[in-house]
Amino acid sequence: MSRVFITGSADGLGFATAKLLLDQGHQVIAHARNEVRAEELLNALPLLTDVVVGDLSRLSHMHAVAEQVKQLPPLDAVIHNVGIGYREPRRVLTEDGLPELFAVNTLAPYVLTSLIPRPQRLVYLSSGMHQWVEGKLKDVLWEERRWAGDKAYSETKFHDVLLAFAVARYWPDVQSNALEPGWVPTKMGGPDAPDDLHKAHLTQAWLATSDAPETRVTGKYFFHQRLKPALMATRKAELQDELLSICESLSGVRLPR
Tens of pLDDT along the chain (257 residues) come to 999 999 999 999 999 999 999 999 999 999 999 999 999 999 999 999 999 999 999 999 999 999 999 999 999 999 999 999 877 788 999 999 999 999 999 999 999 999 999 999 999 999 999 999 999 999 999 999 999 999 999 999 999 999 999 999 999 999 999 999 976 556 665 565 556 667 889 999 999 999 999 999 999 999 999 999 999 999 999 999 999 999 999 999 999 98
Which residues make beta-bridge pairs with 122? 78, 176
User: Which pLDDT score is estimated for 193?
Assistant: 57
By the 8 A CB rule, do 52 and 37 touch? no
Which residues does 186 contact at the CB level (< 8 Å), separation at least 6? 12, 13, 193, 197, 200
Distance from C-alpha of 104 to C-alpha of 93, rounded to nearest angstrom: 11
Alpha helices in 108-230 (DSSP H): 108-115, 149-170, 202-209
Helix axes 237-251, 108-115, angle to 10 degrees: 90
User: Which pLDDT score is estimated for 186?
Assistant: 63
CATH fold of 3-251: Rossmann fold (3.40.50)
Is 0.85 surpassed by the pTM of this model?
A: yes
List, by residue number, the catalytic residues: 153, 157
Nearest to 12 by CA among 160, 176, 204, 152: 204
User: Which pLDDT score is estimated for 194?
Assistant: 53
Which residues does 2 contact at the CB level (< 8 Å), separation at least 6? 21, 26, 27, 76, 77, 208, 209
